[in-house]
Amino acid sequence: MRPYADERDVQRALAVLGGAGLVRRDDAGLSADLEPIRSAAAAAVAATPVGRVAAEFPRLDGCLKNGRIATIPADDALKAELGRLVMAALPRRDAYTERELTAALGELGDEPVALRRLLVDLRLFGRDRDGSRYWLA
């Protein structure tokens, strides 16, 4: 492998980046346009289950990262709002096994067990005594 790129390689790479709209060349030289990357990232976040409903819950912006639930707030009112967000983002089913619910919540956030507990504590979900089955309350 060569330790450096020759001029032809650089020109080829700049042509590809320019064609993708990421680099512009003008009288001042080269400049990067990060807007296409920002737009692609925003579209990717909006396509997630949490991202699809996040706009309805603006007070939870600090709890979300990259279209996922990153933290559970300490404030009870925000916890209740987070519970509503989870219910809006969760696939609709009448009942889940513990494993199914944990897997579904894992698609929404970094702490699926804590989210499961939150849903039970908020009485949005009921569960068997042994915790093996969960259902919409």
| Tens digits of residue pLDDT in 18-75 | 888 888 888 888 888 888 888 988 999 999 999 999 999 999 999 999 999 999 999 9
Amino acid at 95: A
| Tens digits of residue pLDDT in 78-100 | 999 999 999 999 999 999 999 99
What tokens appear for 48 in the block? Answer: 């997630």
R_g of the chain, CA atoms, integer Å: 22
Stretch (H or E) spanning 97: strand 95-97
Whole-structure pTM over 0.85, yes or no? no
Backbone angles phi, psi at 126, to 5 degrees: -100, 165
